[in-house]
Amino acid sequence: MSQTLEQLQEILAQRRAASPDSSYVASLHAKGLNKILEKVGEESTEFLLACKDNDKENAIYECADLWFHTLVALSDLDLTAQDVLDELARRFEMSGLEEKANRTS
């Protein structure tokens, strides 16, 4: 896992345990998964619109926001970025079509 991703994950874990009054991440967790997912949806839409407009600078900014909020959502489910990276690595073994056909859910 990249050093940046590892560091971000450590910061997210620390801030999850902080006071919601002093930490944006803690405030999201305090509001619950639905609020976190609302932010993921909002950031996803902003990323899609930046891509549609071919606004590369804004696409990077919005993708960073999307990844950040996705990591917060994973954290709320007690999952990590490494869990996702492991799944992506597993998929290297097969084509995308084959992987999709083999899904159980």
95 vs 33, which has greater pLDDT?
Answer: 33
Which ranges of 24-101 would DSSP assign to H, the alpha helix?
24-31, 33-52, 56-76, 81-91, 96-101
- Give the tens place of pLDDT for each residue, 34-67: 999 999 999 999 999 999 999 999 999 999 999 9
pLDDT per residue over 8-36, tens digit each? 999 999 999 999 999 999 999 999 999 99
pLDDT higher than threshold 70 for residue 105: no
Residues found in the chain: 105
Q: Is the pLDDT of residue 2 over 90?
A: no
DSSP 62: H
Given a contact cutoff of 8 angstroms between Cβ atoms, the answer to whether 71 and 12 are in contact is yes
